[in-house]
Amino acid sequence: MSGTRFYGAMEAVTAVKSILRPFSQDVLSSYYNHMEILAAVGALYTVRKTLNILCGCYSFIRQYVSPCIFHRTNDLKQYGEWAVVTGATDGIGKAYAEELASHGVNIILVSRNIEKLQKVSGAITENYGVKTHFIVADFSLGREVYPSIKEGLRDVDVGILVNNAGVAYEYPQFFNEVPEDKVWEIVNVNIAAAVMMVHIVLPGMVERNRGAIINISSASCYQPVPLLTLYAASKTFLDTFSRTLHYEYSSNGIFIQSITPFFVVTNMISYSSLFQKKSVLVPLATDFVRQAVRTIGVSRRTAGYWSHSIQTSLNLCMSEWIWVPLITFICNSHRKEYLSKKSRA
């Protein structure tokens, strides 16, 4: 009886093999027939990655190495006689105003503190011998500030606009912890101010068929940044706004640039003692802007500083599931540092 069962099982196995054999042969045949196609796909992928690396290296050399070796300087006056810089009394904005003035461009400073405006305006005129004006404007107030700005820029040959005005969280926070006033301030300053300043100066640039618009975004536009959600989202908007404007107005001779820096030593990140000291990864505002200005007319989307470009490349290589826990840990560390200091004060 057991022998009969054994032979029955063997017959079943043989039958299954006879059924599967043609199928497996078809699969193998199909695999071998498509080997050339698979090899071609792999080769194309390798070529694409190689070209991306070569393009990145070329861009890095063009932006940061070539100007130093050949002492190349941009003729920024080709865009116009005047540059408008928002948030111009501190940090990156002040550095942009001074750097542009060193190239012989007249400067119009826009900020909310009249004492600082007078001081910076006078210093730029004295140090660089250019004309300066200033407009007092608190962008956090919303729509009411723009009529006076529009009047102040009437009939002015604005060649360069630097949208630098920006605000961030007092320290890394969960979104529901952010006060309503801060929410509106970020929306009005980081988003609405840049949009309206472009809306004011762009018609003149189109009419003259020249101009440059530099929008200071942030590296936070590349990946999600928990605990800085609204700030990162506002900078992502600015980056997209800049890149899309390029396709609308590059044919009019207007250069539009999105600057996406990592950390720079400024008051905006004063909640962290780590980022208040100059280092290879965290430059001073003056050092950052000196390199960023060299990229005007060269790169439409750039980190602006050599080490920030390397950080950007590494950031883009990271999968989101690696990046998010890492940046969350960093933001949480800064949050705890700030709250600890506040509790001891």
Q: Where are the domains of the chain?
A: 73-344
Q: Distance between CA atoms of 165 and 186, rounded to whole angstroms?
A: 10
Question: Quick one: pLDDT band at residue 169, thresholds 50, 70, 90?
Answer: very high
How high is the pLDDT of residue 14?
A: 59
Q: How confident is the model at residue 254 (pLDDT cuts 50, 70, 90)?
A: very high
Mean pLDDT of the chain: 88
Are 181 and 189 spatial neighbours (Cβ–Cβ below 8 Å)?
no
Please indicate whether residue 231 is annotated as part of the active site: yes
Instruction: Give the model's pLDDT for residue 39.
Output: 73
- Continuous segment of H or E residues that includes residue 211: strand 211-216
How much is the pLDDT for 65?
75
Q: Tokens 């509790």 — which residue?
A: 343
How much of the chain, in percent, has pLDDT values that exceed 90?
Answer: 71
Lowest-confidence segment of 3-17, 33-47, 207-221, 328-342 by average pLDDT = 3-17
Predicted structure pTM score: 0.84
In the prediction, which pLDDT does 88 show? 94
Range with the poorest average pLDDT among 4-13, 67-76, 169-178, 192-201: 4-13
Q: How far is CA 51 from the centre of its chain?
A: 23
Give the pLDDT band of residue 183 (cuts 50, 70, 90).
Answer: very high
CB 106 within 8 A of CB 82: yes
d(CA 79, CA 202) in angstroms, rounded, equals 13
pLDDT value at residue 31: 56
Question: Which pLDDT score is estimated for 269?
Answer: 77
For the domain 73-344, what is the CATH superfamily, name and number?
Answer: NAD(P)-binding Rossmann-like Domain (3.40.50.720)
Q: Are strands 132-136 and 301-302 parallel, antiparallel or unpaired?
A: unpaired
> What's the pLDDT at 5?
52
pLDDT single digits (tens) 119-158 = 999 999 999 999 999 999 999 999 999 999 999 999 899 9
Other CB atoms within 10 A of residue 193 CB: 27
Quick check: 20 pLDDT over 50? no
Least confident of 17-31, 83-97, 229-243, 257-271: 17-31
- In this prediction, residues 316-325 reach a mean pLDDT of 93
Three-state SS at 281:
coil
pLDDT confidence tier of residue 30, bands split at 50, 70 and 90: low
Q: Does pLDDT of 159 surpass 90?
A: yes
Average pLDDT over residues 2-16: 52
Arithmetic mean of pLDDT, 208-227: 96
Say if residue 32's pLDDT is above 50.
Answer: yes
| Res 305: pLDDT | 94
Q: Which of 128, 146, 231, 249 is catalytic?
A: 231
- Residue 245 φ/ψ, nearest 5 degrees: -60, -35
